[in-house]
Amino acid sequence: MKVDWVKQLGVKITTLSEAAKIIKSTDDYYVYVIWKIYTPSPVPFYVGKGHWQRLIKHEMESEAENNIYKTRIIKKHKSLGVECGYTIIDFFDDESAALQAEIDLIALIGRFDLQLGPLANRTDGGDGTRGHLARKRGDSYSAKSVVANGERYGCLRDASEDLGVTSGAVSGRIKNGWSGYYYEDEGQRQSTKEILGRYKKEVVVLGNRYPSASEASRKLGIDVRMISKRIAYGWEGYYYVGEGQLPRKTVWSNRKDKVAVTIFGKSYSTVAEAVLATGESWPKISKRCLSPNFPGYSRNDGLIVPKLSPPKNPEAVLVNAKRFESIGKAAECFGITDGGVAYRCRSDNYPNWMFADAFKQATESFTPGFSSNPLSVWVDGVFYESQSKAAAAYEIDINTLKKRCRSYSFPGWVSTGVAKLEPKDGRPGLIGVVIDGKHYRSINQASRFLALPRKLIRDRLDSEYWPTYTSDSLALYR
């Protein structure tokens, strides 16, 4: 569930210039929030304590500072031509009060590196280092001796490896005052009741009792959010011990995706299962299973919803001597657009594509113009004397051919006069990836199979906190 942070914090977002005017006339300390604006709804990504002109220096410092996540967010705003949002939370005449307010606000919103929220802050606030997770062991909170679950460990990493959780999870438990979790030289912190109330309630999952949803998640290998959602929706056998079984919110028969389907001879128990297996979208599979125009897709209950009215004047076409009763059916068969079929029927570059109507074919056919100096093309070592002939051989248009010749994702495609272009982010669009030991040819393919946003996969590839996400340059050639 997405959080409406503006409503949650009860604040107003201003521009940088408006925020600068607010702080210009005061010598007080202040706590501020910087907002991510290019998302569907504003999201806070940085909380800080300022004095005088501190607030307006963030964008100037973004090139040099080591907070990579924050820097990328600011750079993306600049590349999109969008200004970050700013909010002055409050003013303080005492610096210690401002520092405490900064700590409280960071804890309320949550840090991204601890997987507790959206903030790019790398510390808990207050003194600039508290709670920082250093990359290497040293004089930092990540290297301090800790007590976790009643046992003493030399550092956060040792505790996380022994308990089977992330270092961020151990750090979060210490910060939120879980009993038996604390830094040895600090002692037990006061518990945060809101956090403990969400994650430390006893649960029953499929007849087995667990001290918390997190413990059930680790034992069963089910995402903790999925367990919480099933409890909230009243799944049979999922409930909090103190609350009991909730009534079922949804009924199987009322769910549109709870119908068995068959796609090209393979059966799936639900549309959702077919989505995960094929990588196709839910609307695409659902519509095709209901349509008589896609014989490879069908619902196992036999339901078909034909179009209310067929095309008024279908244009029959011939492709490789095979007749299609309409341009749309030919496009569907070859996986191209209606316009692509019509173009190929008119173009002399595709002699096996034509309209069934001989008069229409004779009057609308044309010969594409060629350059007086045709550009030769090599595709995986095969030579073509012109781009048009290479495009015709692979049944693609000239623009697609040029894109492949320019892209490092297609190293075997080379054309005279067309230079390879470096991608904007410095890596090819079809970069291979390895996620949890499984190889994917591209980020797009991984996104389809895992149902994860492409941006999230890219962020995890760049993050040290996701070691199971790595690039695979050889995947492109598999």
Query: What is the per-residue pLDDT across 311-362, written as a single tens digit (0 to 9) for each?
Result: 667 889 999 889 998 888 888 888 777 888 888 898 887 888 899 988 888 8
Q: Which residues pair with 418 in a beta bridge?
A: 415
Q: Which residues pair with 379 in a beta bridge?
A: 382, 413
* Average confidence (pLDDT) over 283-303: 85
Above 60 in pLDDT, residue 196? no
15: closest CA among 85, 68, 76?
85
Above 90 in pLDDT, residue 412? no
Give the tokens for residue 284: 């695409």
Confidence of residue 33 (pLDDT cuts 50, 70, 90): very high
Q: Which residues pair with 354 in a beta bridge?
A: 318
Q: Residue 107, exposed/middle/buried by CB under 10 A (0-12, 13-18, 19+)?
A: buried
Judge whether 349 and 397 are in contact, CB under 8 Å: no
326-332, long-range: CB within 8 Å, 24+ apart, which pairs?
Answer: 328/293, 329/293, 332/293, 332/294
Q: Percentage of the chain surpassing pLDDT 70?
A: 85
**Matching residue, tokens 């006339």:** 25
Rg (CA), the chain: 29
pTM exceeds 0.75: no
- What does the H/E/C string look like for 120-142? CCCCCCCCCCCCCCCCCCCCCHH
**Matching residue, tokens 């607030």:** 55
User: Can you give the length of the chain in residues?
Assistant: 478
Q: pLDDT tens-digit profile of 233-264?
A: 888 889 998 888 988 876 655 665 578 899 98
**Matching residue, tokens 């970069």:** 431
What is the structure's pLDDT at 61? 52
**DSSP annotation of 475:** G
Q: pLDDT tens-digit profile of 434-459?
A: 888 888 877 877 887 777 777 788 88
